[in-house]
Amino acid sequence: MNVSPLYLRDAARIDPHGGAILRGNFLVERGAGGELHPTAAIPDPAEVLDCHGGLVTRAFAVAHHHIYSALARGMPSPQPPPSNFREILERVWWRLDRALDADVICACAQVTAVDLLKAGATFVIDHHSSPHAAAGSLDLIAQTLDSAGVGHLLCLELSDRDGPAALAAGLHESERFAATRKALIGLHASFTVSDALLAQAVALAKNFNTGVHIHVAEAEADQDETLARHGRRVVHRLADAGALDLPHTLLAHGLHLDASERAAIAASRAWVVQNPESNRHNNVGTFDARGLGERILLGTDGMHSDMLASLRAAYFDGQTTGGLAPQAAWQRLHRVDDYLAQLGVFRDNDLVVLDYDAPTPLTADNLEGHAVYGFGQQHVRHVVAQGRVVVQDREVRTLDEAKVRANARLQAARLWQAM
């Protein structure tokens, strides 16, 4: 590892929380908790990233992802095609996750790491599922992401759908991993989780001073089945179990919520993750932020790793659900750092350098308009993670991209065969 200081030459720094654009050279401190400082002179020796006047801002983070789905792209769809959300789960995702093994999981993590880094993201909050290969699966993902320079907050989605043996293995893996690393306790969704499992997950999360990460009301079916079996709506069931009292709890989706559930979330300590493109893909509805409070983050739900695409999709969804200003969309993209700071994860030296050559004047006052209408993955030139250069001139430095993709294609063919 390079231990000489890292300098950004000729950069335009954007504060992710707003404020002036500062032009010049910057020193990037190395390691966890490191910061970024304006500096006049660049000493010798130093590692220097020439930014050619490019925009520097906080690298992105995905607040809800499914690394395990990385090898599904181009996979033949079942015939006849699924006609509703429950069928999509049963006939696509639950068949896929049951066929995963260590080699496929590793290939998924490698290819996602490459995609994240090339899209300017240096942190992923992942929701993993491999019910027949649970043991050690979170370590495999963690080690792969660590060596790539991608920070992570992992969990394994627990449910009762695969029977007691798979659940016991999943609980063991969750507990073992959370004892050694910062992690969340994952649950699939209310409609696949028994009262006993819900209570166990909340107790584990409390024990490890973390939160529960669960899909909430992604489709109406989650509400219908929860009401029929438990006599309450999803959010009230989670609240009664204590899941919303945990400050690190993540509720993915939150689409089919009534006013009382929105009020319960707003009054709680939990965070909601919007996944706009996945919601369109599954035809389950449009995220509506009204009544949920300000603790809203952005994810991709396994669709891709490009948070600038998620930013734009969230902005468009906001136009049909009461309005969302570009400034508010940009804040939603970066609010994940408020969430992570609660967990003691600081990313001031996680940076992305964009070579965005603005076609109109760009200032601190209209930056978010440029972000929503103009910024794209094609502008990601350099990426720094915890003060370490992980992408330079669009090339990933921590993984051999060609080898990763070639191996992923082999593993994908094997996975599709096994399904």
Residues that bind Zn ion (CB under 5 A): 301
Nearest to 155 by CA among 122, 194, 123, 188: 188
Closest CB 44 distance from Zn ion, rounded Å:
48
Pairwise CA distance, residues 280 & 313, whole Å:
10
Measured from the CB atom, the residue of 222 and 301 that comes closer to Zn ion is 301
- Rama region for 386: left / alpha / beta (φ>0; ψ in -120 to 50; rest): left
Measured from the CB atom, the residue of 8 and 89 that comes closer to Zn ion is 89
Strand order in the sheet with 60-65: 60-65, 121-126, 151-153
Measured from the CB atom, the residue of 301 and 317 that comes closer to Zn ion is 301
Closest CB 14 distance from Zn ion, rounded Å:
30
Closest CB 338 distance from Zn ion, rounded Å:
21
Helices (H), 134-212: 137-148, 163-178, 195-207
Are the beta carbons of 287 and 253 closer than 8 angstroms? Answer: yes
Measured from the CB atom, the residue of 84 and 366 that comes closer to Zn ion is 84
CA torsion sign for 354, 71, 312, 265 is negative
Pairwise CA distance, residues 5 & 239, whole Å:
48
List, in order, residues 6 or more apart from 381 with CB less than 8 Å away: 51, 54, 353, 354, 355, 391, 393, 394
Q: Which two tokens stand for residue 185?
A: 């306790």
Q: Which two tokens stand for residue 373?
A: 């209408």
Measured from the CB atom, the residue of 301 and 337 that comes closer to Zn ion is 301
Measured from the CB atom, the residue of 89 and 371 that comes closer to Zn ion is 89
Pairwise CA distance, residues 170 & 196, whole Å:
15
Measured from the CB atom, the residue of 34 and 186 that comes closer to Zn ion is 186
Measured from the CB atom, the residue of 64 and 233 that comes closer to Zn ion is 64
DSSP-derived secondary structure letter, 292: S
* Phi then psi dihedrals of residue 363, to 5 deg: -135, 175
Length of the chain: 419
Closest CB 5 distance from Zn ion, rounded Å:
40
Measured from the CB atom, the residue of 173 and 301 that comes closer to Zn ion is 301
- Tell me whether residue 323 is exposed, middle or buried, using C-beta atoms within 10 angstroms of its C-beta: 0 to 12, 13 to 18, 19 or more: exposed
Closest CB 276 distance from Zn ion, rounded Å:
13
- Tell me whether residue 266 is exposed, middle or buried, using C-beta atoms within 10 angstroms of its C-beta: 0 to 12, 13 to 18, 19 or more: middle
- Closest-by-Cβ residue to Zn ion is 301
Q: 259: how many CB neighbours lie within 10 A of its CB?
A: 9
Closest CB 69 distance from Zn ion, rounded Å:
9
Closest CB 64 distance from Zn ion, rounded Å:
6
List, in order, residues 6 or more apart from 252 with CB less than 8 Å away: 64, 127, 213, 214, 215, 216, 218, 272, 273, 275, 299, 301
Closest CB 66 distance from Zn ion, rounded Å:
6
Measured from the CB atom, the residue of 103 and 220 that comes closer to Zn ion is 220
Closest CB 411 distance from Zn ion, rounded Å:
22
Closest CB 339 distance from Zn ion, rounded Å:
17
